[in-house]
Amino acid sequence: MKQYALAIIGGGASGMMAAIAAGKSCKEVLLLERGGRIGRKLLATGNGRCNISNRNAQHKGYHGAVPEFVRPAMDRYTVDKTLRLFEEMGLPVVEEEDGKLYPYSLQAAAVLDVLRLELERLGVEIRTDSEVQTIRRLKDGSFRLYVQSGEEKQEYAARRVIVACGGEASAGLGGCSGGYRLLEGLGHKITPRLPGIVQLKADMNGLKGLSGSKFEASLTLRDGKKVCRKENGELLFTDYGVSGPPVMQLSATASRLLDRGRKPVLEIDFLPEFDEETLTKMLRRRAHTRPDKRLEDYFTGFVPKRLGQCILKLAGTAPLSRLAGSLTGQEIAAISRLLKCFPVQITGTNGMKNAQVTLGGADTSQFDPYTMESKLVRGLYVTGELYDIDGDCGGYNLQWAWSSGQLAAEEAVRSLA
Ligand SMILES: Cc1cc2nc3c(=O)[nH]c(=O)nc-3n(C[C@H](O)[C@H](O)[C@H](O)COP(=O)(O)OP(=O)(O)OC[C@H]3O[C@@H](n4cnc5c(N)ncnc54)[C@H](O)[C@@H]3O)c2cc1C
């Protein structure tokens, strides 16, 4: 049986990056992928544009039991270093809002192409349709991998192993729990998993009319009186709840609160550019200037019709045939309040299969953050989403995959010398 210097399990973002980093100085690198091709999930990232990293991704913007775990990897393999690496591979990047970085072509396929070409150039051996089912550590410190490939069972020998199997999120794109099982088989602890970067389910009672509507809004996620997170951006109402970039951004916090049995509320400010007092004055003036307008038309030219009607209904000003001039000061204050602070009860997430990232995973206390090596099994390394680490939406998760992949590979190869 051929003995590889390094076997990498998982041909996703961190596995490919690890194989490239290792392949530069090591000739016997094997990359095993259970799917029919490598990098399948990468093609779907950033809505097919691949938000490859974020200019602001440092150790901040990451979560988990010990978010500080990411610091050494992020300090050593910084965003700039990663971008230089991609540039060397032929992939220039472009920066958009909030520091989000994309391939210049705005095509995720371009990212996968340069990674594949580099793997080929470096002579990394790639085996697809190869699911690692068990890892065994031999007495001499090397490893044996037991692989299912179609109907066939195969075995591989390697001196070092990197487990880069990703998390459970988005099973349709390759997410699975295989990596957790492999680590558990070697004595590692896996913390409970939850969906992150995911749409949120909400109590849509009285809000059904808004389904399909989009608003530039400011969102505040509250747990009782406590403000847990604030985000701005385009909010989308759906038939089950809320979606859109600001919702995805605060969804991990909501997911954790829901898991603790809390009942988070999303407060929507539909008109963040006005404070409540100014808005109340504007609404009062509106009612006084055209007192003969029916409430049905009260918001016309100012707030989208469906939102206006929903607000009037919740403010209890029915019927819509009433005249604007008949609105009382109290009613106008209630309308203003709802436009500035519209409460939506969050009831759940849209589940792991729709999530972009897994919260929870391999317990980071059992790994060395300076090498990514297991403290329990020497010679075994872990990268990326498999850890109990999740990043904010906007390129943070891929940057963690790139940084942890490079660190694990370089340390694994160094330990062989
Ligand atoms: C729809 C979607 C959009 C996203 N968009 C972005 C974005 O724009 N920016 C961003 O930063 N992040 C984004 N993410 C998150 C990001 O893609 C992941 O965090 C990142 O890919 C994790 O990298 P990884 O290498 O840890 O795991 P993955 O990329 O998931 O790769 C793991 C690989 O391991 C393989 N594997 C698993 N078990 C085995 C086994 N036993 N044997 C062999 N192979 C195995 C899997 O098939 C998979 O190919 C998105 C995620 C999704 C689902």
- CATH number for position 403: 3.50.50.60
Of 331, 350, 369, at which residue does a domain stop? Answer: 350
Q: Is residue 246 located within the same domain as residue 102?
A: no
For residue 30, how far is the Cα from the chain centroid?
A: 28
Dist. CA 141–CA 150, nearest whole Å:
29
Per residue in 234-251, pLDDT tens? 999 999 999 999 999 999
Helix, strand, coil % in the chain, rounded to nearest 5: 40, 25, 35
Q: Does the C-beta of 131 come closer than 6 Å to ligand 1?
A: yes
CA–centroid distance, 284 to ligand 1, in Å, is 52
Q: Is residue 203 located within the same domain as residue 165?
A: no
CA–centroid distance, 162 to ligand 1, in Å, is 15
Q: Does the C-beta of 396 come closer than 6 Å to ligand 1?
A: yes
Nearest to 356 by CA among 38, 22, 29, 45: 45
User: Could you identify the atom of ligand 1 that is nearest to the CA of residue 398?
Assistant: 11
Of 350, 378, 402, at which residue does a domain stop? Answer: 350
CA–centroid distance, 181 to ligand 1, in Å, is 17
At 28 the pLDDT is 96
Q: Is residue 232 located within the same domain as residue 165?
A: no
Using 50, 70 and 90 to split pLDDT, how confident is the model at 289? very high
Q: Is residue 182 located within the same domain as residue 232?
A: no
Q: Does the C-beta of 51 come closer than 6 Å to ligand 1?
A: yes
Q: Is residue 393 located within the same domain as residue 271?
A: no
Distances (CA, A) of 413 to 49, 95, 140, 374, 396: 32, 33, 17, 15, 26
Per residue in 88-99, pLDDT tens? 999 999 999 999
CA–centroid distance, 322 to ligand 1, in Å, is 55
Q: Whose CA is nearest to atom 5 of ligand 1?
A: 45
Q: Is residue 217 located within the same domain as residue 335?
A: yes
> Which range has the worst mean pLDDT, 39-53, 149-163, 205-219?
205-219
Q: Is residue 261 located within the same domain as residue 316?
A: yes
Domain residue limits at 301:
199-350
**Residue 162 and residue 4 in contact, taking contact as beta carbons nearer than 8 Å:** no
Per residue in 116-125, pLDDT tens? 999 999 999 9
The total number of structural domains that make up the chain? 2
Q: Does the C-beta of 166 come closer than 6 Å to ligand 1?
A: yes
**226 CB contacts (<8 Å, ≥6 apart)?**
none
**Is pLDDT at 1 greater than 90 in this prediction?**
no
Q: Does the C-beta of 384 come closer than 6 Å to ligand 1?
A: yes
Single-letter code of the amino acid located at 178: G
> What does the DSSP 8-state code read for residue 376?
S
Q: Does the C-beta of 395 come closer than 6 Å to ligand 1?
A: yes
User: Could you identify the atom of ligand 1 that is nearest to the CA of residue 50?
Assistant: 8
Q: Whose CA is nearest to atom 19 of ligand 1?
A: 397
Q: Is residue 88 located within the same domain as residue 212?
A: no
Residue with tokens 């290792």: 22
| Average pLDDT estimate for 11-23 | 98
Q: Is residue 182 located within the same domain as residue 205?
A: no
| Average pLDDT estimate for 383-395 | 97
Q: Are strands 93-95 and 100-103 parallel, antiparallel or unpaired?
A: antiparallel
Q: Does the C-beta of 179 come closer than 6 Å to ligand 1?
A: yes
**Is pLDDT at 4 greater than 90 in this prediction?**
yes
Query: How long a stretch of residues is the chain?
Result: 417
- Own/partner pairs, 308-313, CB within 8 angstroms, 24+ separation: 309/209, 310/206, 310/207, 310/209, 310/210, 311/335, 311/338, 311/339, 311/342, 313/206
Q: Does the C-beta of 397 come closer than 6 Å to ligand 1?
A: yes
**Is pLDDT at 207 greater than 90 in this prediction?**
no
Q: Encode 58-76 in three state secondary structure.
A: CCCCEECCCHHHHHHHHHH
Please tell me the pTM assigned to this model: 0.96
Q: Is residue 339 located within the same domain as residue 410?
A: no
Using 50, 70 and 90 to split pLDDT, how confident is the model at 18? very high
Dist. CA 45–CA 49, nearest whole Å:
6
Dist. CA 154–CA 168, nearest whole Å:
25
Residue with tokens 């029915």: 318
Q: Whose CA is nearest to atom 3 of ligand 1?
A: 45
Q: Is residue 203 located within the same domain as residue 231?
A: yes
* CB-based burial, 89-104: b 16+ in 10 Å, e otherwise: eebebeeeebbbbbbe
Of 332, 350, 368, at which residue does a domain stop? Answer: 350
For residue 36, how far is the Cα from the chain centroid?
A: 24
Q: Is residue 284 located within the same domain as residue 190?
A: no
